[in-house]
Amino acid sequence: MPLFEVETDSHIIITWAQDNDEASAVVTDAYPNDSVLRMTKRPRDTWVISKSALGLSGSLDVCHTARDCLSKAEGDKVHAIRLYMHETGVDLEQARKVIESNMVMGW
């Protein structure tokens, strides 16, 4: 089954679907208030996100550190970002990217 990347006004959704109509139906079911801005049938059946493109490179295990900060902050994003900045020394924008990407992964 093909993998589709569907961008809405609020989300980027990666889903398997038989065709564009089925992929649109997934979006409508999950996010009925979102409008589809772009839909791309991926050339392969996997999805890869480059950590370096997100600014997550180096020897530090950023995911573990981010999840630890989220846990200490009890899911409070702003507090977790502050903790991450304090523990790693990164700037606000980089800390935000790391914390938000880990929140999506279900820390």
Which residue ranges make up each domain of the chain? 3-41, 62-104
The pLDDT of residue 80 = 93
In whole angstroms, give the CA distance from residue 58 to residue 51: 10
- Model pLDDT for residues 50-103, shown as the tens digit of each residue: 666 666 566 556 678 888 899 999 878 999 999 999 999 999 999 999 898 887
In whole angstroms, give the CA distance from residue 35 to residue 2: 21
In whole angstroms, give the CA distance from residue 67 to residue 82: 13
The pLDDT of residue 51 = 64
- Model pLDDT for residues 15-38, shown as the tens digit of each residue: 999 999 999 999 999 999 999 988
In whole angstroms, give the CA distance from residue 27 to residue 14: 10
